[in-house]
Amino acid sequence: MSRPLRARLSARALATNFSVTRGHAGSAQVMAVVKANGYGHGAEFVARTLHNADGFGVASIEEALTLREAGVRKPVYLLEGFFESREITVAARHGLIGVLHSESQIEMLTASDRPPQIWLKLDTGMHRLGFEATRCAGLRTELESGARARVTGVMSHLARADESDPRATQVQINAFSQATESGRIRRSLANSAGLIAYPEARFDCVRPGIMLYGSSPFALRDAASLGLLPVMTLESELISVRACRKGDAVGYGGDFVCPEPMPVGVVACGYGDGYPRHAPPGTPVLVAGSRVPLIGRVSMDMITVDLRSTPKARVGSRVVLWGEGLPADEIAARAGTIAYELFCNVNPRVPRVTM
């Protein structure tokens, strides 16, 4: 049998999370964000499963073309716009919408009989990408009168919608409303956190990412309480169970020393697969349905667990690293990161099994 580690992907959970998202979106369209290979879940799997989404958001033209090759016909948005002018032609041919954020991207647009469709990205307070919000109307006129682009939408991005203090987000919502209220154009502001916590941020189109994959965008609210189901279950098996003696040191550096005779399990999954190397001792791992603590250092291909509470565990017992029964958000918090990063880091060597 091959190495037992795999990322099991549930289409049913993904579809459920999409309905939850629609419920929050009201009458706004839903652009499913599938950049970074669908947050590590496989962009093609995600786009096929979410065939009723109104569009998809990606970070590069390569990601967009992967979707087109998979037969996705819905609008695809290049969330960082064009990186070189050659991409404008490719985008036009494949009906991709560039979200332009900089002067140099504007300069790539030349007058044409069939100007490309673009959205403008405005900076309303994140200070990362985008034009000053007050330039929105002027830029539109400039581009459309010169037949350089058809500006069909505007967007901005929220920096702090996941936090409990709403003030910074309200400032962004107000700035976006004011800059875009004149002129009929499609408007989009909210990510997962924004669309759940701020109904007034929905505008015409929302852009969920993380909630579709079943994780909570909020540190203080868990995914289950939001009705979200884990899409990815990273699962493996015990490949060794050792009867260690009192005083035996386990793994690199001998960080864990057995305080008494005890069974130690070895799981086929390590940082070379995307399990966080900084997961500290005590991080929960599900073995044969029971939570047991991680012990010692995370290796490239393995982790070790304390099996004292689970004497039934055997070589071949099923192990869940995160997913069904063990929220990725909880593992991420233990390792000092966010579930976004855990998902994106699942290595290509881990087979994705969809069901």
Ligand X SMILES: *Cc1c(COP(=O)(O)O)cnc(C)c1O
Catalytic residues: 35, 252
Single out the residue of 9, 50, 79, 91 in contact with ligand X (rule: CB under 6 A). 79
209 binds ligand X (CB under 6 A): yes
Q: Which is nearer to ligand X, 106 or 201 (CB)?
A: 201
Measured from the CB atom, is 195 or 285 closer to ligand X?
A: 195
The residue (of 133 and 294) whose beta carbon lies closer to ligand X is 133
Please identify, among the stretches 108-116, 139-147, 206-214, 272-280, the one whose residues bind ligand X according to the rule CB under 6 A.
206-214
Residue closest to ligand X when measured from CB atoms:
209
| Residues between 32 and 71 with contacts to ligand X, criterion CB under 6 A | 33, 35
Q: Is 191 in the site for ligand X (CB under 6 A)?
A: yes
The verdict on 231 binding ligand X (CB under 6 A) reads no
In whole angstroms, the minimum distance from the beta carbon of 217 to ligand X comes to 5
Q: Residue 173, interface with ligand X (CB under 6 A)?
A: no
Which positions from 118 through 157 interact with ligand X, judged by CB under 6 A?
A: 157
Contact status: 215 vs ligand X (CB under 6 A) = no
Quick one: which segment of 88-96, 173-181, 202-210, 345-353 binds ligand X (CB under 6 A)? 202-210
192 forms part of the interface with ligand X (CB under 6 A): yes
The secondary structure of the chain, three-state, reads CCCCCEEEECHHHHHHHHHHHHHHHCCCEEEEECHHHHHCCCHHHHHHHCCCCCEEEECCHHHHHHHHHCCCCCCEEECCCCCCCHHHHHHHHHCEEEEECCHHHHHCCCCCCCCCEEEEEEECCCCCCCEEHHHHHHHHHHHHHCCCCEEEEEECCCCCCCCCCCHHHHHHHHHHHHHHCCCCCEEECCCHHHHHHCHHHCCCEECCCHHHHCCCCCCCCCCHHHCCCCCEEEEEEEEEEEEECCCCEECHHHCEECCCCEEEEEEECCCCCCCCCCCCCCCEEEECCEEEEEECCCCCCEEEEECCCCCCCCCCCEEEEEECCECHHHHHHHCCCCHHHHHHCCCCCCCEEEC
What does the binding site for ligand X look like in residue numbers (CB under 6 A)? 33, 35, 79, 157, 191-192, 207-210, 217
